[in-house]
Amino acid sequence: MYRRLGNTWGSRKRSTGRMPSYYPARINRMLRIARTYGFPKDGDKLIELGTGWLHWEAITTRLFFDVRCTLFDVWDNRQIDGLKNYLGQLDCLIDQLDASQAQRTRARQLISKINAVHDYAELYALLSFEYVLDPSGDLAKFPPGSFDIAVSAGVLEHVYAEDTAAYVDGIAALLKPGGYSIHSINIRDHLYAYDRSVSRKQYLRYPPRIWRLCFENDVQYINRIQRPEWRALFEKAGLGLVEEEVELEDLSGLKIAASYSQYDQTDLSCGGLKLVHRKSSREKG
């Protein structure tokens, strides 16, 4: 019921409302990564994990690079009218993006074609995208070394804590030798999206037992995994850290539970974690 009501209301909002201000910033990040590390590039195979309403990471990467994309999700939240609305707004902002003139021209031409489609079937045919829906979230369905790039935004914090190690291992297995993973993890308490009077890391107040008993739920599950653990999970999976961006939150006035005493102030304050990793170009043998 939550998903049905939320998607109905959210679809109306996205199909007519303003695109969030941070959406173009996500595109600029990918463009900067491409200039810095040489990926994504034309011909690469990309998988977006948890594509949500709009497939934003894959769609916007495809605007600027001729990549082949697989869209993988556990629930069908697709909203074509919202996508077309946001891309229409993006068309007006293309000149503000940190892209070359040739890339801007390409993006405008592709946005025009996307806005002419009637449904996702036409969209996938236009872009040569593959959409894969699997409620289990099992990445083992894809052959090892299938992709040059794995990307997600606001997804990994929703993976069940006990499954995260296997999931990150699965991401590493998906990648070709020398492939990259790009992930933006929202470590904040998602309650803040509904109640701006609370701290962005409100959950730090509660020890695990109280959180599980009173607050944890499957409707909008967050795993509360912190920055050091995420870094360790990717390292253990054999992915080398290329770059890290940490977004800090003000924790003034927030009483932090003793169960978080092992973390330093930077780790406690980390609300947004953006990671780029690279798989070794040499296979273990």
177 or 14: which leads in pLDDT: 177
Question: Is residue 284 pLDDT above 70, yes or no?
Answer: no
Residue range 7-29, pLDDT digits in tens: 677 777 889 999 999 999 999 99
DSSP secondary structure string for all residues of 83-107: HHHHHHHHHTTGGGSS--HHHHHHH
Identify the band that residue 283 occupies on the pLDDT scale cut at 50, 70 and 90. Answer: low
Question: Residue 78: pLDDT band by 50, 70, 90 thresholds?
Answer: very high
**Tokens standing for 265?**
């102030």
Percent of the residues in the chain that have a pLDDT greater than 90, as a whole number: 89
Tokens of 185: 């993890």
pLDDT tens string 244-280: 999 999 999 999 999 999 999 999 999 999 999 999 9
Q: Using DSSP bridges, classify how beta strands 175-186 and 130-133 pair: parallel, antiparallel or unpaired.
A: unpaired
> How far is Cα 193 from Cα 11, in angstroms, rounded to an integer?
17
Cis ω for the linkage preceding 40 (within 30 of 0): yes
pLDDT at 220: 86
pTM: 0.94
